[in-house]
Amino acid sequence: MKIPTETETVERNLPPVPLSSEQIMDLFHNASTQELICQANRVCRQVHGKDVLLRGLIEFTNFCTNDCLYCGIRRGNQRVTRYRMTEAMILSTVQKGYQRGIRSFVLQGGEDRNFTTDRICRLVKTIKSQGCHDAAITLSCGIRCREDYVKMRDAGADRYLLRFETADPVLHRLLRENSLEDRLKALEDIRAAGFQVGSGFMLGLPGESKETRLKNILLCQRLELDMIGLGPFIPHPDTPLKHASQHPLEHTIRSVALVRLALPQAHIPATTAAGSLVPDGREQTIAAGANVLMPNLTPMEFKQNYLLYPGKVCLREKGIQDITRLHHRMKPLNRNLSFARGDALGYPLTNMDKGDGK
Ligand code: 5AD
């Protein structure tokens, strides 16, 4: 796929107006992938400039009570060596990232009851009080009850990620044993607790139709998400979906571009899954409108056991030492890595502004 050059894609002074759902539908059905890439790249550059934001990812537990058919760390997968990082390990991983300049961390885990909400709250407070007061913390630790999100927000967490996975309610229940409705209710609760909200979906799940792919994009728009993660489904050999077919990256690229056009201000990562599917998958995704990269800071001994899908590219990368390499990879796209917190645009107050970023 051709990556557009500067002159082809950047026209300054055009206000990036979010497209309506009708316009998105029209482009979804009628635009070529190259057209979508060009438009989305232009809008991305207008709103976000040359910066590609860094978020340091720490996969702190691979225990999970859920049994999602697509996921390599599902409860039923007996072949996984389970681990939990201790608070001290998590803290030192964050601190190392902080010393390297990172100011945005994502703590992601399976739905692990051992990490109670109180435990997570203590962890967030510790991180913020041990020298990382101005770093943003994003939690991605599954569905909890409404009061728990409030507690986590009060403890100083800034953002919460919970992908809706697929906007097709029937497929959702089939794959996850839980309802899409519950997931959307959780996203509402997360928003109500005052978090910057992230969600997203996978592309190429078995049973997904073209209509599903359109619905995914329109749902992101309806939810007015601050952060949107979307990437290709990659079948894992130790899951019931091991024989599912692999869809091309193009579906992901088209979706990223359309999501960018629907939500010009959103932060959209170029996912590790895209980079794992094809070698320049993340570069292609950045060129199609993404503006975030997530270096994986999880210590090597653990990250090899956090295999949601096979062939995870970050196992070959050293996380923090790799940032220089990421920088070089962004150069041909005329993008610079940014160490800023990268709050949701238009979000009025950060914890720091409120004076409770202890
Ligand atoms: N392929 C690609 N992405 C996956 N995820 C889970 N399993 C897979 C897979 N087999 C995604 C889900 C989840 C996120 C953390 O990883 O969307 O929300």
Q: What is the CATH number of the domain that holds 282?
A: 3.20.20.70
Q: Give domain status of residue 186, yes or no.
A: yes
Please report which confidence band the pLDDT of residue 355 belongs to, taking 50, 70 and 90 as the band edges. Answer: very low
Name the more confident of 316 and 266. 266
CA of 208 to the centre of ligand 1 (A): 15
Task: Return the ligand 1 atom nearest residue 236 CA.
Answer: 10
pLDDT digits (tens, 9 = 90+) for 160-195: 999 999 999 999 999 999 999 999 999 999 999 999
Residue 8 Cα, ligand 1 centroid: separation in angstroms?
Answer: 34
Q: State how beta strands 227-232 and 51-54 pair.
A: unpaired
Sheet holding 104-109, edge to edge: 56-61, 104-109, 136-140, 159-161, 196-203, 227-232
The letter for the amino acid at 20 is: S
Consecutive H or E run containing 21: helix 21-30
Q: Which atom of ligand 1 is nearest to the CA of 140?
A: 15
The Cα 184–Cα 213 span in angstroms is 17
Please give the average per-residue pLDDT across 16-26, as a whole number.
95
Q: Is the pLDDT of residue 257 over 60?
A: yes
Residues at CB less than 6 angstroms from ligand 1: 70-71, 163, 165, 202, 231, 233-234, 236, 273, 308-309
242 alpha carbon – ligand 1 mean position (Å): 14
Place of tokens 């994003």: 138
Cα angle value 107/113/116 (rounded, 5°): 65
> Could you tell me if residue 137 is inside a domain?
yes
Asked whether the whole model's pTM tops 0.75, one would answer yes
**Residue matched to tokens 């295999």:** 307
Q: Which two tokens stand for residue 89?
A: 């390990």
At 35-57, the pLDDT tens digits run: 999 999 999 999 999 999 999 99
| Coarse DSSP helix, strand, coil percentages of the chain, rounded to the nearest 5 percent | 40, 15, 45
* Six-digit token string for 256: 């990223």
Question: Per-residue pLDDT tens for 298-327?
Answer: 999 999 999 999 999 878 777 777 788 899
**Domain range enclosing 211:** 16-342
Q: 130 alpha carbon to ligand 1 midpoint, in Å?
A: 32
Residue 6 covered by a domain: no
Domain count, the chain: 1
Identity of the residue numbered 243: H
Task: Report the distance separating Cα 25 and Cα 283, nearest Å.
Answer: 26
Q: Identify whether 330 is part of a domain.
A: yes
Cα–Cα distance measured from residue 247 to residue 50, given in angstroms and rounded to the nearest whole number:
30
Mean residue pLDDT of the chain comes to: 93
Query: Residue 137 — very low, low, confident or very high, per pLDDT cuts 50/70/90?
Result: very high
The pLDDT of residue 168? 98
- Nearest-CA residue for atom 7 of ligand 1: 71
The number of C-alpha atoms within 13 Å of 252 and in the hemisphere containing its C-beta is 37
Residue 350 in this model has a pLDDT that exceeds 70: no
Residue 261 counted as domain residue = yes
Average pLDDT over residues 149-159: 98
Residue 350, domain member (yes or no): no
pLDDT band at 4 (very low <50, low <70, confident <90, very high): low
Atom nearest to 70 CA in ligand 1: 10
Task: Determine the residue type at 208.
Answer: E
In-domain check, residue 189: yes
Average pLDDT over residues 200-218: 98
